[in-house]
Chain A
Amino acid sequence: MYTIISSVFLAENIKKIEIEAPRIAKKRKAGQFVMIRVGQTGERVPLTIAGSDPEKGTITIIVQGMGKSTRELNSKEAGDTISDIVGPLGTPSHIEKFGTAVSIGGGVGTAIAYPTAVALKEGGNYVITINGARSKDLVILEEEMNAVSDEAYITTDDGSYGFHGFVTQKLQQLIDSGKKIDYVLAIGPIPMMRAIAEVTRPYNIKTMVSLNPIMVDGTGMCGGCRVTIGNEIKFACVDGPEFDAHLVDFKNLTDRNKLYLPEEKQSAETFAHQCNLNKPG
């Protein structure tokens, strides 16, 4: 059993959770993730490590309640426990002094982009961050991002805060303004990552994306997370999750992530029903 040290909402349905996991805290690098199993009948779900405190022996994850498992995890408070957490998994982000590096996060992807943005800054890059949200109340990690960025931009789809529009539009604006961009990291929903790849492709800007296929073990023993990169099959859990955006077969990834839609819906509905039953009064 692994103890939750703190659990706070950053925005509606998005929670920052600190978990006791000393070995992972000591070892993890930017870009890596953990597999979590909330309870004894639970499934294993991958979640990116947003940060860690090696001395305290804790890691931080940022979770958006989407389906059953993430909502169950989000219902946990400080002092509660989860059954299993394993990691750090995946190949760490490749960090070097690229020059000007743009970190783009869409929605909860901002939390995944954050540790790599920190590493890029520590690696001596001029860091620009662009963080997109649907609206103002869903903006997360604004202060943290400001702290690691030489330039920080927030975009909202509805214009309620920051730049009115998508992260792709902001990136295009930066390119059009003549800024020399050497490296782009984009993390968020698949359509967003795919769109970013198309923005940077004509300019030949090195662009990495962190892929989110369905995973089971997360250690390379099943190939459930296989993705097509160029003409090769790769296991995202071992070879990734970060890959060259210009080589990713986004269509296949989108299709494969639909594998269990009916089952996911069924689980989420059952969970919501049980939650309502447990509500007082």
Chain B
Amino acid sequence: MDAQHITKKERMAIPRQEMPAQNPDVRNKNFREVNLGYTAELAQQEALRCIQCKDAPCIKGCPVNIKIDQFIKLIAEGDFTGAARKIKEDNVLPAICGRVCPQEDQCEKECVVGRKNKPVAIGNLERFAADYERESGSVELPKVQPATGKKIAVIGSGPAGLSCANDLIQLGHAVTVFEALHELGGVLMYGIPEFRLPKSIVQGELEGLKKLGVNFVTNTVAGRTVTIDELLKDEDFDAIFIGVGAGLPWFMGIPGENLLGVYSANEFLTRVNLMKSYRFPDNDTPVFNCKGKNVAVFGGGNTAMDAVRTAKRLGAEHAYIVYRRSEAEMPARKEEIHHAKEEGIEFLLLMNPLEFIGNEQQWLTGAKCLKMELGEPDESGRRKPVPIKGSEFILPIDMAVISIGNGSNPLINQTTPDIAVSKRDTIVVDINTMATSKESVYAGGDIVTGGATVILAMGAGRTAAKAIHEKLTR
């Protein structure tokens, strides 16, 4: 069909183009990417479904307000590189966001086509354009404004820090990003698995920032290697953006949590993703030997899905999700739940662990669990799980992964007491500027909101960059 001569009715008649994917029985044994991406044909066909609404409500659904209607039109017309560049005016990491954003709750939720049919696959199209540009080697760097002479430090190289650094470098400021780990990318590198987000893609998107002149310094822990005050006073930074995320794993505080085989999701995923322990012994870092074992992941978020699908790929015989509410309340993306089920993940719903049980050598052998039923809605609006009396039973497992959320790492709070924090230890900011209570210091992403999404963190980074720029060039 021709993009120029197609009626609205014809557009509406095109079904949503499914993303080709690896066969579930094959992919649950490897770490290669599950979704294979659109072909040019599929992408153009999908792009034709966009009816180019005048007010494009999808744009308001995107936390960084990508010009969705415009880039989709370019794809429909076959100008894939042009589409990628249009996206990059607003989003520095499109190949990543196209893969990991919960579009169903953001841009695609607002899509007008979605009122009657399935919404336009905006995420898939974003991903296609970014991949096309990168693979064709035609990545063009945006123009950088003349140097302002101002120096800005960004703490943390996750999505918030990267988007802040990107906007500031383009505005002509000198930007240094400090990262605690030995690799850049934050949760994109250590948290989200290779099979959902190939690490080569993360590195590819980082290359662009390096070429723009962002100075990246790894192995530097804010609060330990250098403090915020030292950066401001001794190293003459004019402003600081803190984007250190929510990286402190919560445990459940039940007996037996220190048994051998009980992991936080952060540890399990860091070992597998960042340290590549799925390639042990070629890579030196070991991880629990899941082969033929029973593994239970406790939690119902995206991290829990990542962990359980990882355990399956490491050879687990049974890989369970144990969640205290029902599937309807799960915070994980529908697509991830669907993929997990296809791969043979077993869902044990309305179930809560009371205690971990081990053998004489202290290796985990089981979890004593209680069955639950749904009661009245709680303050979050979700129906509250209520224990069923006398329903205790023992789930035999060899490994447990705790994935019930993360809090804030205390290091910055401890060493920079004049940055105000909330009762939950998140940094308090003015939401219009992301300014903290400390002069010249801004913050955004999970350190402000608690665990949220990649794209919300990127939006916060942009807001802060804008405010920092206005302050420094006023």
Give residues in A with beta carbon < 8 Å to B.
23-24, 27, 37, 41-44, 68-69, 83-89, 216-217, 219-224, 226, 228, 233, 238, 252, 255-256, 258-260, 262-264, 266-267, 270
Q: Would B182 and A221 count as touching, CB distance under 8 A?
A: no
* CB-based contact B220/A86 at 8 Å: yes
Residue-wise interface mask of B (209-224) relative to A, using a CB-CB cutoff of 8 A (1 in contact, 0 not):
0000000001111001
Contact call B251/A223, Cβ cutoff below 8 A? yes
A44 to chain B, nearest CB (A): 7
CB atoms of A88 and B285 under 8 A apart: no
How many angstroms from the CA of A44 to the CA of B288 in the assembled complex?
16
Indicate which residue in B221, B276, B289, B361 contacts A219 across the interface (CB closer than 8 Å).
B221
With an 8 A cutoff between CB atoms, is B124 at the interface? no
> Are A222 and B267 in contact, with the CB atoms below 8 A?
yes
Q: Contact: B247 with A27, CB < 8 Å? A: no
Residue contacts A-B, CB under 8 angstroms, 18 given: A23-B225, A23-B226, A41-B284, A44-B285, A69-B284, A86-B181, A88-B224, A216-B275, A217-B180, A219-B181, A219-B224, A220-B409, A224-B263, A252-B362, A256-B258, A259-B260, A263-B280, A267-B281
Residue B248 at the chain A interface, CB threshold 8 Å: yes
- For A219, what are the chain B residues with a Cβ–Cβ distance below 8 Å? 180-181, 221, 224, 247, 409, 411
Q: B249 touching A223 by the CB < 8 A rule? A: yes
Q: Give the number of residues in B that approach A within 8 Å (Cβ atoms).
A: 40
* Chain B residues whose CB sits within 8 angstroms of the CB of A27 once the complex forms: 224-226
**Cα distance A87–B226 when bound, in Å?**
9
Closest-CB distance, B273 to chain A (whole angstroms)? 12
B150 within 8 A of A: no
Give the docked Cα–Cα distance between A3 and B442 (Å): 35
Decide: A238 and B221 in contact? CB cutoff 8 A.
no
Bound Cα distance A34, B243 (Å): 23
Q: Does B166 contact A (CB under 8 A)?
A: no
How far, in angstroms, from A226 to B266 measured CA to CA in the complex? 13
- Please, which residues of chain B bring their CB within 8 A of the CB of A42? 283-284
A23 proximity list for chain B (CB < 8 A): 220, 225-226
- Whether A267 contacts B284 in the complex (CB less than 8 A), given A221-B248, A233-B251, comes out as yes
Residues from chain B with a CB closer than 8 A to the CB of A83 are 182
Residue of B nearest to A232 (CB): B253
Contact B270 A86 (CB under 8 A): no
Question: B282: CB under 8 A from chain A?
Answer: yes
* Chain A residue nearest to B265 in the complex (CB): A222
Cβ-defined partner of A87 (8 Å) among B225, B267, B362: B225
Chain B residue, CB-CB nearest to A84: B182
A255 to B411, Cβ gap below 8 A?
Answer: no
If A43-B285, A88-B224, A263-B286 are given as contacts, then 17 extra A-B residue pairs at C-beta distance below 8 Å, sorted by A number, are A27-B226, A41-B283, A84-B218, A85-B219, A86-B221, A87-B221, A217-B180, A217-B270, A219-B181, A219-B224, A220-B409, A222-B267, A223-B249, A223-B267, A226-B251, A233-B257, A252-B258
Q: In the complex, A87 Cα to B182 Cα: how many Å?
A: 12
Which residues from B are CB-within-8-Å of A84? Answer: 182, 218-219
- A222 contact from B219, B249, B286, B288, Cβ within 8 A: B249
| Bound: A48/B410 CA distance, A | 22
**Contact A41–B410 (Cβ < 8 Å):** no
- Min CB distance, B421 to chain A, in Å? 16
A44 CB contacts on chain B under 8 angstroms: 182, 275, 285
Q: In whole angstroms, what is the CA distance A88 to B221 when docked?
A: 8
Contact call B409/A221, Cβ cutoff below 8 A = yes
Complex interface: chain B residues within 8 A of A43 (CB): 275, 283-286
Bound-state CA distance A41–B183 (Å) is 12
Contact A238 B219 (CB under 8 A): no
Q: How far is the CB of A169 from chain B (nearest CB, A)?
A: 30
B361 touches A220 (CB 8 A): no
B244-296 contacts to A, CB under 8 A, are: 247-249, 251, 253, 257-258, 260, 263-264, 266-267, 270-271, 275-276, 280-286, 288-289
